Structure 1
Amino acid sequence: MRCYYKLICLLVLSITSLSCKKFLDVVPNNVGTLDYAFSNRNEAENYLYGCYSTFQNLCREVVGNPGFTTSAEIIYPNFEGNPFNKITSPGFSLIRGLQNSSNPLLNHWNGTNGGQEIYKAIRRCNIMLENIDKPIDLTETEKKRWIAETKFLKAYYHYYLIRLYGPIVLMKENRAVDGPIEATKAKRSTVDESFDYVVSLLDEAIPDLPPVIDNRINEFGRITKSMGMAVKAEVLTTAASPLFNGNSDYASFKDKAGNNLFSTTYDPLKWTKAAEACKAAILEFESHGGRLYTAVPADQVENVSDDIKKELTLRAVITQKWEENPELIMASQFTFDYQGYVIPKLSTKAIAFSNEHPSNFAVPISTVELFYTNNGVPINEDKTWDYAGRNTPQTGTDATKSYIQSGYQTAKGHFNRERRFYADVAFDGGLWFGNGKRNESDSYYVQARGAFAIAGPKSTFATNVTGYWPKKLANYLSVLDESQVYQPYRMPIIRLSGLYLLYAEALNESLGAPTEEVYTYIDKVRQRAGLLGVRQAWAAYAKNPNDPADKAKLRAIIHHERRIELMFEGQLGWDLRRWKELQEVLSRPLQGWNVQEGNAVDYYRPQTVLIPVFGVKDYLWPISNTEVVVNENLVQNPFW
């Protein structure tokens, strides 16, 4: 698709790259640049795609997304001296305590150390808005749409900076290059001013964004009204959340003039505005056919049980093509490039690729234990489930063969779990449908015990430090065998189930007590996962059956539900941050199984893989010390 190709070109190359002459011409490095860039409609459209480029870069690389790398959902071992380590982004280093103010990791303030030049992207958007009237062959309808897209992008860039830095420098318009030097030394606006500006831009953009993309061949992936409204809902929910709404940790955070940059007074009306925005975004998306994905994939699926079909449906929620997935509101236009890191070595032929992917994305035990039992409540809350004995070995039977290899010993905790557990996580003894197999009876299963050991024709070559793989991120049609054939897909940015839970969260916070509508939107997500409604499940199986009726306890349930539903999608690191729960999550060692052991009794003994380092100061990124010195009007973030 033409839109994809142009955006991909802009992302892989910079806007001034000599390797792509077409986009080199968008902003030539000479006098008269702007006259040329806006000389006609085609050149102005190229400049618009230049405004998109940083947006797509931010959405492209999950290993550079703090929402993915700081959530404790996945550990990348990153062994020192490993010559086959292909991940160069510093994202996974953040929870290792390596962040610093002298050379910040993922420095989006000025685009160094893995960061994007977001302020440069904002300047590009301002140039677009300043010059949009110049192309004489641009229709009024197109002009309004392009202005709306540019304002959306400008809003998104500011929003991304707020999530990282809190109060930011607002770039409402570009400063004159020939102006006084003092004019370049801008001050940070307050957090509330920063959020308000983002919302004002989105409010200006949304009315002129198209409801749907009619020209799907050439334009699919460009911003729609549903995308704009969904981002607005997320922005307002973030502004209402504990990190930014009445956070006493920043009571002494002031600018050079002594003005408070954070309000320490909690404002409940922020949740009301967030709830209204969430509901409006849901209604807009649903009015154009948006709905939860429930189809059963049929490609290369022959003789399988209903259990496998339901699992494949849940896997396809992520891996189905964006164009064919009615649940995706917004997704990256680049494919997810790390399927080789999430698929176990399921055959002896796959061993040949061990050097290329010697240390897979590994899921810690604490993340795996988030998934509910098959009764739809947490494993430590289910009064019918043996929580104390979850690490003892138990043998799979014919009754469980759709999930666990019959006759194989695995942990008792792998039995009687909800469908999302089996769809999202690969584990020792777990069935892996796909990877070139069409029938359930012929499916591979994972053998993770005894690293680098082969136990049979249907077992796995284990190179995973915890014994768990993020199965959710692998398309079932992808094959890692004697060759690598990965079926591409685009990582979701916002999807409808996440928006449902965002609305349930905001509505619960805005009310004195939970209402029927709060439960309705939680249960929409649970129903697709094959679970009872939240009240019914707690009433029948939970040790504390009345928790869903209490606002504070329902808050914890909604947070838990989001952590399960959106796991591995690059969202939860942001959620845990805005909830001020990330420090708690990272206060405990991240553990896996004793993967070098070959027998079940010795294997199922938790071993510490990584001790995270995270403190209050890590909720906000440091600004580079150099920036603070050069601009004496800037103040550093607290505790840095």
Structure 2
Amino acid sequence: MIKQLFKYIAAGCLVTAMMVACKKSDSFLDKRQTESLTEQMVFSDSAKTLSFLTDLYAYTGMDLIHNRYTLITSAVGNDYACMEDMTSHSVSYYSDPQASFITGASTARNYFTTNYYKTYYQKIRAANQYIKKVKGSPLSVGMQLRTSAEARYLRAWYYAQLVRYFGGVMLVGDTIYSDLSTPIDYKRNSYKECIDYIVAECDKATADLPAAVDQPAADYGRITQGMCMALKARMLVTAASPLYNGNPISTDGQLQPLISYSASYDANLWQKAADACKAVMNSNNYSLYETASIPGTRAGYSFWKLFLLRKNSEYIMPYMMGYNTNLEGAWFPVSRGGSGWSTPSQNLVDAFGMANGKATSSPGSGYDPKFPYNNRDPRFYNSIIYNQATVYNNSTKKMDPVDIFKTWQGTLSADGLQAYSTKTGYYSRKMCNDSTGKYTNTQRVYPVIRYAEILMGYAEAMNELNGPTPEVYDIVKSIRKRGGILPGADNMYGLDAGMSKEAMRGIIRNEYEVEFAYEGHWYYDTRRWKTAEVTENRPIQGMMVTKQQDNSFTYQTITALNAVFLYPKMYFAPLPFDEVNKSATLLQNPGW
């Protein structure tokens, strides 16, 4: 038995000004409490009731927020903890917990998800409070039903986040656990039970929520039917994937149910995933965002513009924020007014193919290693700042080339900002407004779930069921077309005719990597595909750029950092040491 977890979630249930005074107050959140409001005070006032609900949304964007490690202490985000990226904000490359994670030295004490575990359970408890107490609030019956459904979805969302990291976790149902003197049977539910619960909760919430097209403009960002359907689809695609569907990483009779949906392969799981994705598609509420390019603008204009719009046809679940320059300030090089925080790896750069849709290694691709950035997939140009890439310069008031070679690692730049220099020869520009400079606010919100993911999930599921049918081809081509890939004379967007299931699987996985770079997918995808033991167990590479006397450049791939992925333990995050250490019934994940 253990009560420690519920000390965290009981004490931390109400964050910001809407905190409710809890019976025990020994958690870190209580130390920040500035005012104490009882449940009666909160749920007897309409504004306070809705503010309580609003606070439940606070951590739904944790996979995308670039500075989320400052929001949840000691938790660094997953794009800085995998092959997509290296942070360049430290001369020593990394600090813990990222350093330990990327080099395989993490323990259950310092893993980067430790505080996610506590925080997400706090939100789950708060959702339970809302569902129970809103019935006695002054809100209308209709508003009570709708907002209760929002809380139900958000509870499912936080469970989904826990399950994606840890596998099966404890489901607390509607219980609030206010009385900590009551013994708690603290043990994990199976992975299957957790997935089935999340799916059922999404279905139940859908009935009392509006469709996206029926939602008033002022409510944009609040939970809709489409969000419920999309989360359901995401989690069923995950459950059908190799890590969870047959051949589990542990055959221990106690651990195996916690980390897999089915011990033997079940093709029907892919059918369920396909059906869930198709339901979103058939709702006709969403579509890939495509708009006509303005003459003279960049290739892949729609892909670039998508992320600068607050609302568009593709965003299913946005993470709301005000006008901001957050990404430009964090990611752009110092010469463009940024801090150069994010430095994409050569591994990610290599995933981007050519404008004709061919991989750089494919015959007929046109790739020239002497000019490695010519004629690439337009999504590359809209995601990566490379040597001589043009980015708006506030000093000259025009688009100027960025001189990556001036700020290479280990060389003190003229302004003395060695700590801010790229470690890989690249900077990120994904979702950035790179045509007007850092100091122009952008009205963007972050895409927590967008329609492209649903299309890719459907294509993946159908390929696993039936191989590369024309429907699968059409979806992949539509993603590439919107990204700016050229159709070619055969209108195949670089795809070969008559591919095998295995070949199309490779294409689909590569599309995930380049389409969703910096959107918080890669960490989860490499694990659900059970490929991380290869893709994450190799050096993080960079590009050494050298300027010649004739002003040309030479390029040499180098190792920026040796990464380690320990099998099987790193497929799942460890439950926090303190929780497992205090419970005889809470099982730790394999290898930890």
> Structure 2-normalised TM-score?
0.84
- What is the CA distance between 1:510 and its match in structure 2? 2.4
Residue 110 (structure 1) shift: 4.4
Residue 102 of structure 2 is aligned to residue 95 of structure 1: yes
The 1:170/1:293 distance shift into structure 2, 3 A limit, reads same
Quick one: distance in 2 between partners of 1:444 and 1:551?
A: 44
1:638 aligns with 2:590: yes
2: CA distance, partners of 1:247 / 1:109: 28
In structure 2, relative to structure 1, the CA distance for the partners of 1:63 and 1:144 (3 Å cut) is closer
Structure 1 residue 427 and structure 2 residue 377: aligned?
no
In the alignment, what sits opposite 1:402?
none
Alignment of structure 1 residues 9-408 onto 2, 5 Å: 15-17=14-16, 20=17, 23=18, 27-28=20-21, 33-56=38-61, 60-61=65-66, 63-64=68-69, 66-80=77-91, 90-91=97-98, 94-108=101-115, 110-111=117-118, 117-135=119-137, 137-174=138-175, 176-178=177-179, 181-182=182-183, 184-212=184-212, 216=216, 218-252=218-252, 254=254, 262=260, 263-284=262-283, 287-288=284-285, 290-295=286-291, 305=296, 308-318=297-307, 320-323=308-311, 325-334=312-321, 337-346=326-335, 357=339, 359-386=340-367, 390=369, 392=370
Change in CA separation of 1:95 and 1:103 when aligned onto 2, cut-off 3 Å: closer
How big is the shift at 1:536? 4.6
Match of 1:496 in 2: 451
Q: Give the 3 Å change call, closer, same or farther, for CA 345–187 of structure 1 in structure 2.
A: closer
Q: 1:29 to 1:588 in 2, by over 3 A?
A: closer
> Counterpart of 1:464?
422
Contact residue 548 and residue 554 of structure 2 kept, 8 A: yes
Secondary structure at 2:404's aligned position in 1? Answer: coil
* Aligned positions of 1:530-541 closer than 5 A: 530-531=484-485, 536=490
Deviations, residues 431-483 of structure 1 (Å, cap 9, x unaligned): 33676888xxx53112222437999xxxxx99322222222232134424xxx
| Cα separation, partners in 2 of 1:260 and 1:68, compared to 1, 3 Å | closer
SS in 2 for 1:369: helix
Secondary structure, counterpart of 1:133 in structure 2 = helix
How far is 1:491 from its partner? 2.0
Gaps of 5+ in 1: 1-12, 112-116, 299-303, 393-411, 456-460
Q: Equivalents in 2 of 1:541, 1:59: separation in Å?
A: 30
Tell me how far 1:385 sits from its aligned partner: 2.7
Conserved? CA contact 1:206–1:225, under 8 Å = yes
1:627 pairs with 2:576: no
Tell me by how many angstroms 1:192 deviates: 0.7
Tell me if structure 1 keeps the 8 A contact 2:169–2:191: yes
Query: For residue 55 of structure 2, what is the amino acid of its counterpart?
Result: G
Do the aligned partners of residues 48 and 89 (structure 1) sit closer, same or farther apart at CA in structure 2, a change above 3 Å counting? farther
Secondary structure, counterpart of 1:613 in structure 2: coil
Per-residue displacement from partner, 1:275-298 (whole Å, max 9, x unpaired)? 0110111222xx33x322223577
Q: Determine helix, strand or coil for the equivalent of 1:549.
A: coil
Partner of 1:507: 462
Q: Distance in 2 between matches of 1:220 and 1:153?
A: 16
Which residue of 1 is the match for residue 400 of structure 2?
A: 444
CA offsets per residue over residues 377-425 of structure 1, 9 Å max, x none? 2111233535xx51x3xxxxxxxxxxxxxxxxxxx22222222222222
Q: How many residues align?
A: 552
CA distance in 2: counterparts of 1:534 and 1:70, whole angstroms = 37
SS at match of 1:322: coil
Give the 3 Å change call, closer, same or farther, for CA 342–463 of structure 1 in structure 2. Answer: same
Which whole-Å CA distance do the structure 2 matches of 1:550 and 1:49 have between them? 47
Alpha-carbon contact 1:76-1:92 (below 8 Å) kept:
no
- RMSD of Structure 2 on Structure 1 (CA): 3.4
| Distance (Å, rounded) in 2 between the aligned partners of 1:215 and 1:425 | 35
What's the CA shift for 1:531? 2.9
CA distance in 2, matches of 1:179, 1:80: 46
**Counterpart check, 1:615 vs 2:570:** no
Matches for 1:557-576 after TM superposition, within 5 Å? 557-576=507-526
Q: Aligned with 1:443: secondary structure?
A: strand
After the TM superposition, which of the residue ranges 425-434 and 514-523 deviates more from structure 2? 425-434
Distance 2:162 2:212 in 1: 28
Cα deviation code 1:310-361 (max 9, x no counterpart): 344321122x2222x2221122113572322322345xxx5xx5xx72x541
SS at match of 1:604: strand
Contact 1:432 1:445 in 2 (8 A): yes
CA distance in 2 between partners of 1:434 and 1:278 (Å)? 42
Report the secondary structure of 1:605's partner residue.
strand
Unaligned runs of 5+ in 2: 1-11, 24-35, 70-75, 414-418
Q: Following the alignment from structure 1 to structure 2, what is the Cα–Cα distance between the partners of residues 586 and 607?
A: 17
Q: 1:375 to 1:498 in 2, by over 3 A?
A: same
Contact 1:155 1:198 in 2 (8 A): yes
Letter in 1 for 2:587: V
TM-score (norm 1): 0.78
Relative to structure 1, is the Cα distance of residues 16 and 500 closer, same or farther in structure 2, using a 3 angstrom cutoff?
Answer: closer
Q: Tell me, what secondary structure is at the counterpart of 2:359?
A: coil
SS of equivalent residue, structure 1 residue 278:
helix
Secondary structure of the residue aligned to 1:432 is: strand
What is the one-letter code of the residue matched to 2:219?
A: E
Task: Measure, in 1, the Cα distance between the counterparts of 2:420 and 2:122.
Answer: 44
Cα 1:81/1:464, change in 2 over 3 Å = closer
Structure 2 counterpart SS, 1:499: helix
Q: 1:371 to 1:568 in 2, by over 3 A?
A: same
Distance in 2 between residues matched to 1:449 and 1:60, nearest whole Å: 29
Question: Once structures 1 and 2 are overlaid, which stretch shifts more, 94-103 or 120-129?
Answer: 94-103
| 570 and 110 in structure 1: CA distance in 2 versus 1, 3 angstrom threshold | closer
State the distance in 2 between where 1:233 and 1:436 align.
47
Quote how far apart the aligned CAs of 1:75 are: 1.0
Residue matched to 2:30: none
What amino acid is aligned across from residue 132 of structure 2 in structure 1?
E
> 1-side partners of 2:573 and 2:500: how far apart?
35
- The answer to whether the 8 Å contact 2:242/2:530 transfers is yes
Give 1:428 deviation, angstroms: 1.5
Counterpart Cα distance in 1 of 2:395 and 2:547: 29
- Asked if structure 1 preserves the Cα contact closer than 8 Å seen for 2:356 and 2:488, the reply is no
Aligned residue number for residue 397 of structure 1? none
